[in-house]
């Protein structure tokens, strides 16, 4: 699985001006690390472990750190979580005698060094430390291991389940419904086309229908500029390599490297033809989404500029995009 930010940025739609991912056809990727920090902070701050049982008082105090990567990929509405994180918690413990007099107060940490999507069905390793390893301190630590560890792992499983459901983007995954359009002309429109002597009253209906047709056939353009830390020729090669497309998108792809050759990506949901290819400089393609009406096509133009060695700026212009799909 590609690391966050290393996928094909033409399909990372979160930074588009309109933020639209119509019908969830595109491969969208959302960074969930900050969301995860907030999630774990809420779950694991001031979490009571023991409140007097055995004259021990234990609780977590704060999330010290959460590092690594966490993201949600969505393709055709399918949620694909990815994460490799480590977290560290602060905790406090106190032991009292039978009269309620404090014997010892300690601070410690709970470290979970590796939480990964590859091991989502397994409990991760948990390490507990304490700042006093004396007899009383060891008793407090043992209580934290026996009572605190299961409770903390339970909270981790809550986060894992939330990631599996889409994390911060789960509420955005419902596809937008577009009202179906009729492909056959109405009786009024047919009368207008075939009968030159239609009266003024009858002619009013087709004018309204013509207005609807004009809106339906509206076109828009999309422009984006992205910066990549790589050579222009390497990025050009990646975009024209069907095996890398398959790897990045986890979907079938077939890409011709010849002008006039055809391509099919995202399991055939996007098809088209290469119109112009200049290695390391330009890709121009005719694009068509499978959800579009018959005969509707658009044009994608990718211009590569390398202002300095190892830095490539890509300018994307996507023209003739249907209004409802922009």
* Averaged pLDDT for residues 292-319: 91
Q: What's the confidence (pLDDT) of residue 209?
A: 44
In percent, the amount of the chain with pLDDT more than 90 equals: 52
Contacts for 310 with CB less than 8 Å, ≥ 6 apart: 229, 230, 231
By the 8 A CB rule, do 322 and 312 touch? no
* Of 281 and 9, the one with more pLDDT: 281
Q: What's the confidence (pLDDT) of residue 183?
A: 42
Looking at the domain assignment, is residue 153 inside a domain? yes
* Of 85 and 173, the one with more pLDDT: 85
Looking at the domain assignment, is residue 287 inside a domain? yes
Considering its fold, how many domains does the chain have in total?
A: 2
Q: What's the confidence (pLDDT) of residue 249?
A: 80
Mean of pLDDT over the chain: 81
- Cα(147)–Cα(140) distance, rounded to whole angstroms? 10
Identify the band that residue 294 occupies on the pLDDT scale cut at 50, 70 and 90: confident
Looking at the domain assignment, is residue 202 inside a domain? no
* Averaged pLDDT for residues 43-65: 94
Q: Which of 36-40, 175-179, 265-269 has the highest mean pLDDT?
A: 36-40
pLDDT at residue 10 is higher than 60: no
* Of 318 and 324, the one with more pLDDT: 318
pLDDT tens for residues 242-262? 988 888 888 889 999 999 999
- Cα(77)–Cα(173) distance, rounded to whole angstroms? 6
Identify the band that residue 171 occupies on the pLDDT scale cut at 50, 70 and 90: low
pLDDT at residue 59 is higher than 90: yes
pLDDT at residue 1 is higher than 80: no
Q: What's the confidence (pLDDT) of residue 199?
A: 40
Residue that finishes a domain, picked among 172, 206, 236: 172
- The tokens describing 6, both together, are 């290393």
pLDDT tens for residues 144-158? 999 999 999 999 999
Looking at the domain assignment, is residue 155 inside a domain? yes
pLDDT at residue 303 is higher than 90: yes
Q: Please tell me whether residues 140 and 227 are part of one structural domain.
A: no
Looking at the domain assignment, is residue 195 inside a domain? no
What angle, 0 to 180 degrees and rounded to 10, lies between the N-to-C axes of helices 187-194 and 200-216? 110
Q: Please tell me whether residues 29 and 157 are part of one structural domain.
A: yes
Looking at the domain assignment, is residue 184 inside a domain? no
- Cα(59)–Cα(216) distance, rounded to whole angstroms? 61
Q: What's the confidence (pLDDT) of residue 182?
A: 40
Looking at the domain assignment, is residue 149 inside a domain? yes
Q: Could you tell me the sign of the dihedral formed by the alpha carbons of 183, 189, 191, 197, in that order?
A: negative
Domain range for 77: 22-172
CATH code, 149: 3.15.10.20
Looking at the domain assignment, is residue 83 inside a domain? yes
Q: Please state the three-class secondary structure of 280-296 as a single string.
A: CCEEEEEEEECCCCCCC
CATH code, 313: 3.30.530.20
Q: Please tell me whether residues 168 and 28 are part of one structural domain.
A: yes
pLDDT tens for residues 177-208? 344 444 444 444 433 343 444 444 444 444 44
Q: What's the confidence (pLDDT) of residue 295?
A: 84
Q: Please tell me whether residues 131 and 246 are part of one structural domain.
A: no
Q: Please tell me whether residues 152 and 40 are part of one structural domain.
A: yes
């Amino acid at each position: 699985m590609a690391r966050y930010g290393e996928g094909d940025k033409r399909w990372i739609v979160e930074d588009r001006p309109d933020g639209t991912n119509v019908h969830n056809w595109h491969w969208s990727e959302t960074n969930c690390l900050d969301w995860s920090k907030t999630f774990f902070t809420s779950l694991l701050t001031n979490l009571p472990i023991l409140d007097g049982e055995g004259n021990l008082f234990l609780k977590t105090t704060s999330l010290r750190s959460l590092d690594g990567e966490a993201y949600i990929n969505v393709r055709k509405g399918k949620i694909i979580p990815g994460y490799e994180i480590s977290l560290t918690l602060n905790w406090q413990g106190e032991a009292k005698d039978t009269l309620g007099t404090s014997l010892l107060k300690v601070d410690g940490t709970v470290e979970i060094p590796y939480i990964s999507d590859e091991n989502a069905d397994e409990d991760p390793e948990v390490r507990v430390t304490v700042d006093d390893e004396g007899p009383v301190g060891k008793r407090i630590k043992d209580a934290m291991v026996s009572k605190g560890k299961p409770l903390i792992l339970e909270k981790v499983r809550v986060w894992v389940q939330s990631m599996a459901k889409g994390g911060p983007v789960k509420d955005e995954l419902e596809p937008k419904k577009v009202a179906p359009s009729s492909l056959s002309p109405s009786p009024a429109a047919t009368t207008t086309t075939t009968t030159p002597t239609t009266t003024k009253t009858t002619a009013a209906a087709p004018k309204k229908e013509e207005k609807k047709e004009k809106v339906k056939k509206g076109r828009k353009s999309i422009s984006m500029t992205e910066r990549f830390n790589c050579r222009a020729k390497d990025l050009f090669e990646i975009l024209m390599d069907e095996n890398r497309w398959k790897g990045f998108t986890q979907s079938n792809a077939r890409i011709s490297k010849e002008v006039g050759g055809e391509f099919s990506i995202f399991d055939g949901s996007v098809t088209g033809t290469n119109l112009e290819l200049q290695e390391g400089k330009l890709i121009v393609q005719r694009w068509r989404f499978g959800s579009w009406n018959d005969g509707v096509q658009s044009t994608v133009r990718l211009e590569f500029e390398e202002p300095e060695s190892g830095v490539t700026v890509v300018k994307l212009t996507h023209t003739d995009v249907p209004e409802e799909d922009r």
